[in-house]
Amino acid sequence: MNFKKPLNLVASAVILSTLAACSQTTATEAPSKNQLTAFGTTENMQGSQAAALADDAWLLSSQSQGLQLIDATGKQHALQKGNFEALSVKAISKNSYLVASIDNEADQAVIFSLQKAAKWQLTEISRISPPKAKPEAVCLFANPTTQAVSAFVADARGLIRETLVFDMANKSALNLELREFAGVSETSGCAVDDNSKTLYLSEGELGIWQINADAESRADKKPVALMSPFGSLAPEVGGLSTTDDGSLWFTTSEDNQLHRYEKSTKRFSSWQFAGELAIESAAVRFNNNQADIVLYDDESGHYVKGQIDGQAKQHNSAKTAAVTYINAQAQTDAVRAFGDAADDPAIWVNSKNAAKSLILGTDKRRGLMVYDLAGKELQALETGRLNNVDVRQHASINNASNTWITASNRTHNSISVYSVDTHNQVQHLAELPTTLKEIYGMCMYSSNTGNYVFMNDKSGLFQQYKLTGNNESVSAQLVREFSVPSQPEGCSADDKTAQLFLGEEDEGIWFIGAEPTAGNKLVMLQTVNDMLVDDVEGMEIYHAKDARYLVVSSQGDYSYVLYKIIDGNTPSLEFAGKFAISNNLELAIDGVSETDGLTVTPAALPGYPEGVLIVQDGYNRMPQAPQNFKIIDWREVKNAIQ
């Protein structure tokens, strides 16, 4: 049907706490002077969602007339014929947009480029097909960290697939599957706030959920606003949209209300419409102290347009640490199964042929994994639940490669000992018992007094063992104990200076002498702060030509901190930089998050003249796979040194 007269709008504002979002009440004001009028085609539109463009233009989706654009003069432009539902738009430059919609005839999400030159032009650039499932919603996410745009496609299985569709830095189209995760049972809409990296999902008969949109994170759902019996939101929630100020906009068709949710303040505002309506979606554009709105009304079967009182909210930019983003150049094969498995890497350098050097990585469920420098798995030694691993290559070690590899074995509360034979194969030599009750982290140290292993326990207790023997027989003698107040894990010893640096996960970085005669008094060098965010995890010393750097995993913010080690009777740590590892789109290697262990070497390796940094990756994406280890050229890390 067509509107014969304008429809009245009733405005109301509601401020809610997080919990109150599930039990909403509305204070109704006097009817507004604002009115809704028919917008665009009124016959056989069968629309679903609109989107605001620059210069007062609007994009409309239609299941009968495809994708249409209405410019500032009211002129309609038919851009794409077909049966299209849902709509998401991201600006990539002035007068240039990415558009995502669902092609109902093909059961695919379609990504378009929309350009305004002499005329508007829409060009298809890619399609995304959920496996054997109808897509229900699609929304675009312009990640400010990675400078890439991805598309979230929710399907009838209740799953969401994220696909990289555009590289903003290089202005090039992509079609790289990033990850897949559980969504909601019946998705009626989705939208993303880029600045807060928040994905919103609407479930028509239940409410609205939010998920961290960053692929390097857990996809846990949290409620925003729910219906009875969990809250008082009226049915039915349809499409979602966001504005640049971070506001989420949605409608409830039973009571004909438009809602605005401001995430930073948990504030809800609501506007109720009078008349025979069944509004299913809203698109919003701020215009001074008012906002232009385009709604889809299922009762009339076409779009309507109006204005409401409302203005964009100012962003309160929180202070964030300056982070340099770098890329990985290679990655290892994934461990055998999903879950928290990969933990700590180490590297064995082949002194005769650097190309045959080995990367070692612990699998907390199985044992020790061995990879070549390209990351290909060569061996899997299933010797128990290994947590941390370290290597020493020293002339005093009496075997063919002058190598001992040790690891903390949580299955046996023991020291697992390995070596490398003349055929470049890692061999398991022994399990050496400890008196620790819950073994956890470890690191190694070699000097002219012997070869040592520092083992730690979740209680904070460290034990230093001296290793002796050869390939035929290896033994460990306890030579010292000391403690930190709470759970430790990562540590790193400098063989040249006899210094041991160790992490207490919730507190910071400690120092103690590495020789067994150095006593048991520790010195706190660095507490957790805005730069070093707990948990303090893996750490390792890199020996540059003119300096030493301690590289530390700042697990709480998915980054790494570089400290220059300043010599003295007691060394000190000087902040030297902070970096994170982002997507390498050219090589299809994802970024890194939640790093447990790491290792570094300054040894020249093929393709890495200044050595490498190797880190554990908590979320392995592009495509989604079990955890693995990422390999970074040290020259990339140098970009972060201040």
DSSP string, 113-181: EEEESSSEEEEEEEEE--TTS-EEEEEEEEETTTTEEEEEEEETTSEEEEEEEEETTTTEEEEEEEEEE
Confidence of residue 6 (pLDDT cuts 50, 70, 90): very low
Contact between 510 and 528 under an 8 Å Cβ cutoff? The reply is no
CA distance 212 to 219: 6
Average pLDDT on 349-376 reads 97
pLDDT at 316: 63
Q: Report pLDDT digits (tens) over 182-239.
A: 999 999 999 999 999 999 999 999 999 999 999 999 999 999 999 999 999 999 999 9
pLDDT at 4: 35
How is residue 90 written in tokens? 């991201």
pLDDT at 637 over 90: yes
Mean of per-residue pLDDT scores for the chain: 92
pLDDT at 35: 80
Q: Report pLDDT digits (tens) over 407-419.
A: 999 999 999 999 9
pLDDT at 17 over 70: no
Average pLDDT on 142-165 reads 96
Quick one: which of 423, 215, 296, 419 has its CA closest to 42? 296
Average pLDDT on 306-316 reads 86
222 burial (CB, 10 Å; 0-12 / 13-18 / 19+) is exposed
pLDDT at 619: 96
Average pLDDT on 8-29 reads 37
How is residue 297 written in tokens? 């009304």
Other CB atoms within 10 Å distance of the CB of residue 176 = 18
pLDDT at 173: 96
Asked, as a colleague might, if the bond just before 515 is cis with ω within 30 of 0, I would say no
Contact between 590 and 185 under an 8 Å Cβ cutoff? The reply is no
Confidence of residue 471 (pLDDT cuts 50, 70, 90): confident
Please name the residues in contact with 601: beta carbons below 8 A apart, sequence gap of 6 or more: 347, 349, 542, 611, 612
The percent of residues in the chain predicted with pLDDT above 70, rounded, is: 94
Q: Report pLDDT digits (tens) over 569-599.
A: 899 999 999 999 999 999 999 999 999 999 9
pLDDT at 33 over 50: no
pLDDT at 32: 46
CA distance 160 to 137: 9
pLDDT at 37 over 60: yes
Looking at residue 227, the DSSP 8-state letter turns out to be B
pLDDT at 287 over 80: yes
Q: What is the DSSP string of 331-384?
A: EPPP-SSSSS-EEEEEEE--SS-GGG-EEEEEETTTEEEEE-TT--EEEEE--S
How is residue 47 written in tokens? 């629309």
pLDDT at 318 over 90: no
What is the pTM (predicted TM-score) of this model? 0.90
Average pLDDT on 242-265 reads 95
pLDDT at 30: 36
Torsion sign over Cα 604, 609, 613, 614: negative
- Residue 297 pairs in a beta bridge with 279, 302
The Cα-based distances of 383 to 52, 88, 414, 495, 628 in angstroms read 59, 50, 11, 28, 19
321 burial (CB, 10 Å; 0-12 / 13-18 / 19+) is middle
pLDDT at 105: 96
Q: Report pLDDT digits (tens) over 46-91.
A: 999 999 999 899 999 999 999 999 999 999 999 999 999 999 999 9
pLDDT at 317: 58
Confidence of residue 122 (pLDDT cuts 50, 70, 90): very high
Q: In CATH terms, is domain 325-638 a member of 2.120.10.30?
A: yes
Range(s) of the chain covered by CATH 2.120.10.30: 8-25+32-309, 325-638
pLDDT at 319: 60
pLDDT at 25 over 60: no
Looking at residue 261, the DSSP 8-state letter turns out to be E
pLDDT at 7 over 70: no
* 3-class DSSP assignment, residue 243: coil
pLDDT at 2 over 70: no
For 8-25+32-309, give the CATH class: mainly beta
Average pLDDT on 492-511 reads 97
Please name the residues in contact with 320: beta carbons below 8 A apart, sequence gap of 6 or more: none
